[in-house]
Amino acid sequence: MIKIAVFASGTGTNFDAILENINAGKLSAKLALMVCDKPMALVVEKAKKANIPSFVFDPKDYPSKAAYDQAILEQCHQHEVDLIILAGYMRIVSSVLLQAYPHRIINIHPSLLPAFKGKDAIKQAYDYGVKVMGVSVHYVNEDLDGGDIIAQKAFNCEGMNLDEAEKNIHAIEHQLYPQTIQKIIEELTI
């Protein structure tokens, strides 16, 4: 069984969706570790309730990004993590993790990449006045939101307000991410 780690910083609705899919037998993986850089984040509480081992850290306690990424790497090794899933993790992953997990770190981004990279992607797209919005799942490399695209799903957002567009994006994420992770795992285990 492939072991995954989910890295998150916020509410963890994608964490929930991944866990639900595992519990429903639709995603053949073991959620071996949850990593969070925000001790007060809701996702920390969720992982605790679900009995998922967690590594929760405060970046301020480390001298550098490389130092906390090294600590994360040790946790990943300890829990024998095969695949790292970024789900609303608000930190740039350094070469410490990228080199240890080449083509084994994926991210979900709430825009149709390569458009609207970085923070507040939904609002960026909305303010731009796009007529089509969507979600991308991609490999993580040293370029922010710039790695190879694995999957995308689009929808027509004409006439939607920002709130409706956001709800749509999240609903798509919660389906697309577990499905895409399952496909990646199937390819890894062939």
Give the ranges where 79-136 is alpha helix by DSSP (H): 95-100, 121-128
Q: Which is it for strands 54-56 and 83-86: parallel, antiparallel or unpaired?
A: unpaired
138 given a catalytic annotation: no
- Contacting range for ligand GRF; rule: CB under 6 A; set: 63-71, 98-106, 107-115, 123-131: 107-115
Q: In 3-state terms, what secondary structure has residue 158?
A: coil
**Residue at shortest CB range from ligand GRF:** 88
**How many helical (H) and strand (E) elements, i.e. helices and strands, does the chain have?**
6, 7
Interface of this chain with ligand GRF, residues 83 to 102, rule: CB under 6 A = 87-88
Compute the half-sphere exposure of residue 33: CA atoms within 13 Å on the CB side of its CA. 24
Q: Which of 5, 6, 7, 13 binds ligand GRF (CB under 6 A)?
A: 13
Q: Which of 108, 112, 176, 181 binds ligand GRF (CB under 6 A)?
A: 108
- 14 contacts ligand GRF (rule: CB under 6 A): yes
With CB under 6 A as the rule, give the number of residues binding ligand GRF: 13
- 35 contacts ligand GRF (rule: CB under 6 A): no
Burial of 134 (0-12, 13-18, 19+ CB in 10 A): buried
DSSP 8-state assignment for residue 60: G
- 105 contacts ligand GRF (rule: CB under 6 A): no
Tokens at residue 141, please?
């490399």
Q: Give me the least distance between CB of 85 and ligand GRF, in Å please.
A: 10
Contact 41, 10 (CB under 8 A): yes
Mask of contacts with ligand GRF, 151-180, x by CB under 6 A? ----------------------x-------
- Contacting range for ligand GRF; rule: CB under 6 A; set: 4-12, 25-33, 59-67, 181-189: 4-12
Tokens at residue 15, please?
């964490």
Residues in contact with ligand GRF by CB under 6 A are 8, 10-15, 87-88, 108-110, 173
